[in-house]
């Protein structure tokens, strides 16, 4: 159980995104006062549709503006920061690397520098990294003592973000903890190019799902359900009360590895769509081939373990999206209008 969040002044970057909206809702339910910095938002997201937009203090701007971040922290008396803002879609990062590095790298050091310059306010900083920061390692599972060696734009940006966060902790004593997360999924993700929401949407429309394949072999990924993710953030929040956690990175995932086809088949079984054959296409960009995460350190130091199996998480996720689609249809909206993705 997390320490008391009531009346805590919390800054959540990326609050309008998929994971940010879930975390923001959780914090609000526990009495925290949430501030966020918004560059833009998608009207089809949970952040807008659920009314979260009107329950937090939204500051219009972006993380490239250091003076804005510094002012937001000082004027709102921010004590806790959850840094989730990022270009989080690998394809977007691949096609627009400058933007990915601006947001993921520059945005991170601007935020951490502003936190460093408010030592009387800042008590805890939680940074959302990724298992992609490890790069395409031949050694699996990933453990936290492995080098960070992302090569493709998204992976490299997360390696940089992670190392910069460690630097601020070790050089300046900033109370930072880093989460390296597996592939996060759950209801409310409006990026339809991602495997799980995209497959659910296509099955809902009785269309064949699309499975991307590398030149040789199969992609294999480790996963993390959104509700387990929220508890991982709380594990980091609680852990920062202890000096030995500060400056540390922790893996959060299920500790397994599944092919794309295995995930699609699980979704098909849940949605009674096993009669629909997938379409296979070859990817035209570089991506990590195999990923699997060790959570041993996290279990030992933070007492965190995933509570959901992949089957349970996918079942809840499919149920969430089916209700979402049905509600849109009842309102006279076409789910084909949901094609626009936002960073």
- Tell me what pLDDT residue 289 has: 85
Residues 213, 219 contacting (CB under 8 angstroms): yes
Residues 232, 284 contacting (CB under 8 angstroms): no
Tokens of 210: 């699309």
**Topology given in CATH for the domain delimited by 195-220+256-289+308-338:** UDP-galactose 4-epimerase; domain 1 (3.90.25)
Cα angle, residue 114 at apex, residues 145 and 100 outer, rounded to 5° = 60
- Tell me what pLDDT residue 166 has: 98
Ordered by start, the domain boundaries in the chain are: 9-185+223-252, 195-220+256-289+308-338
In the chain, where does DSSP find H-type helix? 18-29, 46-49, 66-76, 90-95, 97-101, 107-116, 153-172, 195-204, 226-239, 260-270, 296-302, 310-330
Judge if pTM exceeds 0.85: yes
| Per-residue CA distances from 220 to 189, 197, 287, 337 (Å) | 21, 17, 11, 31
| Per-residue CA distances from 268 to 194, 254, 299 (Å) | 16, 21, 32
Residue ranges for the chain with pLDDT beneath 70:
1-3, 284-286, 330-343
- CATH 3.30.1360.30 is the classification of domain 9-185+223-252: no
* Sign of the alpha-carbon torsion through 125, 86, 267, 341: positive
40: burial class by Cβ within 10 Å (0-12, 13-18, 19+)? exposed
Q: Which residues are catalytic?
A: 154
- Tell me what pLDDT residue 79 has: 98
Q: Which residues pair with 210 in a beta bridge?
A: 279
């Amino acid at each position: 159980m997390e320490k008391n969040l009531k009346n805590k002044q919390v800054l959540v970057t990326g609050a309008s995104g998929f994971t940010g909206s879930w975390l923001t809702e959780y914090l609000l339910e526990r009495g925290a006062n949430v501030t966020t910095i918004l560059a833009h938002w998608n009207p089809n997201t949970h952040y807008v549709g659920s009314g979260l937009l009107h329950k937090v203090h939204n500051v219009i701007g972006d993380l490239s503006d250091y003076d804005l971040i510094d002012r937001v922290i000082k004027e709102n008396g921010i004590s806790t920061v959850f840094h989730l803002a990022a270009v989080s879609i690998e394809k977007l990062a691949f096609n627009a690397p400058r933007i990915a590095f601006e947001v993921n790298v520059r945005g991170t050091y601007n935020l951490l520098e502003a936190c460093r310059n408010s030592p009387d306010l800042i008590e805890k900083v939680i940074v959302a990294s990724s298992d992609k920061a490890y790069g395409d390692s031949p050694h699996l599972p990933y453990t936290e003592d492995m080098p960070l060696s992302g090569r493709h734009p998204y992976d490299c940006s997360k390696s940089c973000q992670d190392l910069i966060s460690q630097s601020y902790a070790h050089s300046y004593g900033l109370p930072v903890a880093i989460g390296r997360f597996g592939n996060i999924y759950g209801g409310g993700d409006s990026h339809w190019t991602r495997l799980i929401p995209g497959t659910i949407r296509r099955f809902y429309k009785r269309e064949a799902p699309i499975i991307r394949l590398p030149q040789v072999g199969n992609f294999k990924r480790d996963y993390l359900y959104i509700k387990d993710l929220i508890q991982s953030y709380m594990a980091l929040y609680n852990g920062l009360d202890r000096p030995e956690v500060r400056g540390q990175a922790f893996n959060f995932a299920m500790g397994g590895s599944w092919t794309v086809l295995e995930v699609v088949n699980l979704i098909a079984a849940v949605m009674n769509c096993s009669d629909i054959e997938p379409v296979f296409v070859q990817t035209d960009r570089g991506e990590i081939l195999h990923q699997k995460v060790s959570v041993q350190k996290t279990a030992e130091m933070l007492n965190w373990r995933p509570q959901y199996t992949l089957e349970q998480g996918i079942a809840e996720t499919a149920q969430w999206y089916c209700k979402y689609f049905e509600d849109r249809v009842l309102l006279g909206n076409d789910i084909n209008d949901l094609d626009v993705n936002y960073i």
